[in-house]
Amino acid sequence: MAATASQVSITNNVGSALAILDAYDPSTTPGAPEATQVFELPLTLRTTASGSKTIAASSTDTVTLDANRIVYDLIFVRPADLFPVQNSALMADVLSGQYPPLTVAATSPAQLSLALSFYINLLAYPTSTTATQYYAAVSNAAAKGSSASDIESSVAEFFKSTTNFKTLDLNSVVTAQTYARGFPFIWAGFTANFASFNSAITYYLYSPGTAASGSNTAAPTFQGTLAMTRNAAPPNPADPTDRSGAYQISFTPAQGAATPMTFQNGQFVSDDSDFPSVALRGTFVLKSSLTNNASDNVIVPVLSGTVNGVQVMGTTTKQDTSGGGGSDSGFWAFFHPTTFGQYLTLITTFFGLAMGLEWIGAKGKAAVDWFKGRNKPPSPDEQQQMRDQLDQQGDEVRAGQQRGLDQLGDRNAAVPDDAAMPAAQDAGRVQAADANNVARGDAQLDNFEAMGDQVEVAARYGVNQQLENVAESVRNGAQDLQGAMPPNSGSEQLQGAVEQAANNIADIKPQLSEVVSNVENELSAGDAADIKASQQVQAEAEQIAEDRAKAAEEASDGEGGEGEDPIEGGVDV
């Protein structure tokens, strides 16, 4: 069917049916740049001229448009979950009024899947070299580009310099990030390449426990669950006005009745107040940073925020709070309150940095769209006016982001402005290194405790000066390290303390081995088993400390997000 002036011909070269969303806010100011982008805009499902809500695979059809509009932002999506396949700008010819035909390329689904992978990399590693270079590339292009092609080509050059994301463009990344914030699908878990999303998932939320005097471990406090369950027969195509994606979302406290939740601006909230009683936001972390098992080289979705004023974090793994935090209890970090607390603070900082990265992408795309919407090349004065308007809108966007960040429990966390972002990313690297050094210190304290247990068993078979010397070294090493753990010291003191603890442990190990060897033939079966168990704890703690030392160094160097692509490692939900 030939397209009329209020229709556009669309060819779907993808091997599956597609729905078409019209992203449009009629209240926007004509001629001004628009910071609100793609899935953040009001969405309308467009139909074909025959009334169909989808365009069949490998076919061409016409889509009816509004006769009184000239410019469109059309998003071609997977009908079941509105996953973006291609985002296309469309403008009627100024003379004929006809819309040029559009084609959805067969390669588009892979491009958007890659874009969402990149966005998840930014969430997991907002201080990585990849993230800092992306920010610099888009920021410079938006500030200096004198045309849409200038900006797009500058950002494309950045992507070409990467290992895993060479084909990406700014439009795809912003489309993907606004989808992830506009609907909760990715927090339900997904299959490879985001081919589908899970229909149900549960997150188990915890706050740090309180360690007894003389101990660095405690079971976390269970605060409740957040559950997502999609309706049994959701509409297909999905309803773009339902920002919960047809999921029934609820928070159930440790004690009490469930509370309905909604998904708004990328966060799960219990109500529309400035400070909801429950407010949670998602991100991704490397699983090994929580389990301290190097083989867990996959990322896991994490929710963090506040539950009735208590800061929490949770994954889809239920922790056994009845145990003592051993390998069978759950994630190592959850059972070490100091490490757990440090991660809570770090994740909130990363939320703020991720928001800054989201804004710079939106700002760059807004500038591109503004240039493309001009009938003639804009003058330098007009370009500067556009940039001034975007800066003003950026202040408004950041104010809204900061309100969301404040709901998550750490009032010291901030969304950096454009000028402060590079320094904030540098500071985030230091904070990430500190978090890993705290985990390293906690593992070293576990090691000292295991050593102390062996000394205690050996003492049952006689005390001598050698045993006394080892006991004193263990005690002094543990106390010195404990005194340097947060909040007692800064980054440099903490770094020095964990390095000294590593030296102390290395010095004590052979002495302790000799002490145990001296009584080995006298040990009862029970004491021998206790020695063996504590030696196993000691070995595990030593490996954890080594892994965290390496992670701290990598965080300082800005690694992650490219050479250590979490999507390549897989996703564990």
Asked whether the predicted pLDDT for residue 118 surpasses 70, the reply is: yes
Residue 412 included in any domain: yes
pLDDT at 151: 97
| Residue 1 domain flag | no
**What does the block give as tokens for 526?**
């029970």
Give yes or no: residues 240 and 163 share one domain: no
Q: Which of 67-81, 198-212, 249-263 has the lowest mean pLDDT?
A: 67-81
Q: Is residue 573 pLDDT above 80, yes or no?
A: no
pTM of the model: 0.93
Cβ neighbours of residue 279 closer than 8 Å, sequence gap 6 or more = 267, 268, 269, 270, 305, 306, 404, 407, 408
Report whether pLDDT(186) > 80.
Answer: yes
Return the structure tokens found at 189.
């878990």
* Residue 205 shares a structural domain with residue 329: yes
* pLDDT level of residue 571 (50, 70, 90 thresholds): low
Q: How far apart are CA 143 and CA 387, in angstroms?
A: 7
**Assigned domain for 568 exists:** no
335-363: pLDDT as tens digits: 999 999 999 999 999 999 999 999 999 99
pLDDT digits (tens, 9 = 90+) for 437-472: 999 999 999 999 999 999 999 999 999 999 999 999
Pick the last residue of a domain from 106, 129, 147.
106
Q: What is the dihedral of CA 68, 69, 75, 80, to 10 degrees?
A: -20
Residue 489 lies in a domain: yes
The string of DSSP codes covering 206-247 is EE---PPTT-S--PPEEEEEEEEEE-SS--SS--TT-TTTTE
Do 123 and 101 reside in the same domain of the chain?
Answer: no
Q: Residue 183 has what DSSP assignment?
A: S
Q: Shortest CA distance to 220 belongs to which of 290, 158, 308?
A: 290
Here the tokens at position 520 are: 């080995």
Distances from the Cα of 372 to the Cα of 71, 90, 367, 547, angstroms: 10, 10, 9, 49
Q: Which of 419, 445, 462 is the last residue of a domain?
A: 419
The total domain count for the chain is 4
State the burial class of residue 60 (Cβ atoms within 10 Å of its Cβ: 0-12, 13-18, 19+).
middle
Structure-token match 């929490």, residue found: 312
Q: What is the pLDDT of residues 527-546, one digit of tens each?
A: 999 999 999 999 999 999 99
What is the extent of the structural domain holding 534?
Answer: 426-557
Structure token pair of residue 127: 């201080």
pLDDT of 568 reads: 41
Rg over alpha carbons for the chain, rounded to the nearest Å, is: 28
For residue 560, the model assigns a pLDDT of 66
Residue finishing a domain among 306, 335, 364: 335
Is 569 inside a domain boundary? no
Pairing assessment for the beta strands 102-104 and 7-12 based on DSSP bridges: parallel
Q: What is the arithmetic mean of pLDDT over 191-210?
A: 96
- pLDDT value, residue 294: 83
Q: Could you give the dihedral angle defined by the CA atoms of residues 138, 403, 178 and 113, in that order, rounded to the nearest 10 degrees?
A: 80
- Give the pairing of strands 19-23 and 43-46: antiparallel
For residue 294, give every residue at least 6 positions away whose Cβ sits within 8 Å of its Cβ, in sequence order, or none. Answer: 288, 543, 547
- Domain check: are 189 and 247 in the same one? yes
- Would the pLDDT of 411 be above 80? yes
Looking at the structure, do residues 197 and 326 belong to the same domain, yes or no?
yes
Residue 517 belongs to some domain of the structure: yes
Same domain, 100 and 115: no
pLDDT at 552 over 70: yes
The chain-wide mean pLDDT, for the chain, equals 92
Quick one: pLDDT band at residue 489, thresholds 50, 70, 90?
confident
Residue 507 has pLDDT above 80, yes or no: yes
d(CA 120, CA 561): 9
Predicted confidence at residue 1, as pLDDT, reads 43
More confident of the two residues 140 and 71: 140
Do 434 and 521 have their domain in common?
yes
Q: Is residue 344 included in any domain, yes or no?
A: no
Q: Is the pLDDT of residue 158 over 90?
A: yes
Residue carrying the six token digits 């027969």: 233
Angle 491-519/525-557 helices, nearest 10 degrees? 160
Task: Let me know whether 189 and 234 are in one domain.
Answer: yes
Residue type, 213: S
Write down the pLDDT at residue 563.
42
11 lies in the same domain as 101: yes
Identify whether residues 410 and 433 lie together within a single domain. no
Give the residue-averaged pLDDT of 321-346.
Answer: 83
Enter the DSSP assignment of 164. S
343 located within any domain: no
Quote the pLDDT of residue 550: 93
| Euclidean distance between CA atoms 199 and 231, whole angstroms | 8
237 shares its domain with 330: yes
Does the pLDDT at position 328 exceed 80? no
Euclidean distance between CA atoms 177 and 173, whole angstroms: 6
Q: Does residue 466 sit in the same domain as residue 379?
A: no
* Lowest-confidence region among 80-89, 131-140, 177-186, 479-488: 479-488
